[in-house]
Amino acid sequence: MARTDERRFGGTIRERRRAVPRRSPLGEAARSAASRGPYVSATSAAIGPTPDIGFFERWLTAWVALCIVTGIALGQWLPGPVKAMGELQIARVNLPVGALIWVMIVPMLIRIDFGALRQVTDHWRGIGVTLLVNWAIKPFSMALLAWIFIRGAFAQWLPAEELDSYVAGLILLAAAPCTAMVFVWSQLTRGDPYFTLSQVALNDLIMVFAFAPIVGLLLGLSAIVVPWATLLVSVVLYIVVPLALAQLARRLLLARGPQALAAALRRLQPASIAALLATLVLLFAFQGGPLLRQPLVIAMLAVPIVIQVTTIAAFTYWLDRKLGVAHCVAGPSALIGASNFFELAVAAAISLFGLESGAALATVVGVLVEVPVMLAVVRLVNVTRSWYERGASASRREPRAA
């Protein structure tokens, strides 16, 4: 099993050693992983099946665009049924959308192995950089960009009554890092899978406690009324309960062996993507009228998101280089640092502000731009590998020279 798991992430340990310089920290990381013995197999099983970018993931932007067209068409052609579906609510939670979001989120959370937290000290510099960016920089920089563009540069072209809602949606989008697609991005940059897994597990643990306070603080600073009761219910409904159920399912599957976990994740992945796309169809069915009246809204909402992702990724990558972090860690670090947990953002926006809100639309735009922008970051990380390793090697030598 260990040999099979090693192939999923770029070949065997011996092959990965040949692919890097003699003294590269990647070789050390591989030897360290090998020394962990059986734990490597369990950790790799946590990630599930081969984290290569699949057909649906590769063309996610196209599917989202198709969902936009389909949703708007349904909203215009079948206004009665769409309205009736929108009224199926309990405590401001739309029941069809809530069910879809659970189907969307739970398979992602089954992948997470909190046992990987014991590996945090193996990559403490990369972990530290990513935590700094994810929780102390990214949410606040997105709030700043939202104020600059939504309340400033683009305000005259956006509906005045939705400005606060758009800002709120952008804040929700940046308030938590991605937990699923980052495994794909890590594999595409030949990243260390054990760093990626331990970083995602740590982020998920922090998210349980930090998501609501960060969102509440930034909404308050933006002079947006914070519905604390609804926000806390959203955290319980879309983080705590799904995470608990996912970990229970994970334990039951692993009791039957790692192959059972991998097989279950393969079966659940299409359902997760289908639930995401169905959620988007419903969202745009409710958003169709405003979008037809102002089609440039999506483009204007995309501007701060694209700027945020690219600048945060570049800053994280640069900081890792200055600290001498290995490239196999810096690549995933930059991508996790720049990523957004858009599934959670969509769910929270719907719960807090409603299906037809500008906040829900803003989070959906995050889904629209996620794949092409992150693939561009992957490309940048790969083509700058030599430049990065020269600088990182120099940074590692400086303390010894001093």
* pLDDT tens-digit readout, 120-156: 788 899 999 999 999 999 999 999 999 999 999 999 9
* CA gap 188, 182 in Å, rounded: 10
Which ranges of the chain have pLDDT less than 70? Answer: 1-58, 60, 91-93, 290, 398-402
Q: What is the pLDDT of residue 301?
A: 95
* Global confidence as pTM: 0.74
Residue pair 272/116 in contact (Cβ under 8 Å)? The answer is: no
HEC secondary structure over the chain = CHHHHHHHCCCCHHHHHHCCCCCCHHHHHHHHHHHCCHHHHHHHHHHCCCCCCCHHHHCHHHHHHHHHHHHHHHHHHCHHHHHHHHCCEECCEEHHHHHHHHHHHHHHHHCCCHHHHHHHHHHHHHHHHHHHHHHHHHHHHHHHHHHHHHHHHCHHHCCHHHHHHHHHHHHHHHCCCCCCHHHHHHHHCCCCHHHHHHHHHHHHHHHHHHHHHHHHHHHHHCCCCCCHHHHHHHHHHHHHHHHHHHHHHHHHHHHCCHHHHHHHHHHHHHHHHHHHHHHHHHHHHHHHHHHHHCCCHHHHHHHHHHHHHHHHHHHHHHHHHHCCCCHHHHHHHHHHHHCCCHHHHHHHHHHHHCCCCHHHHHHHHHHHHHHHHHHHHHHHHHHCHHHHHHHHHHHHHHHHHC
Q: What is the pLDDT of residue 142?
A: 96
Q: What is the pLDDT of residue 387?
A: 95
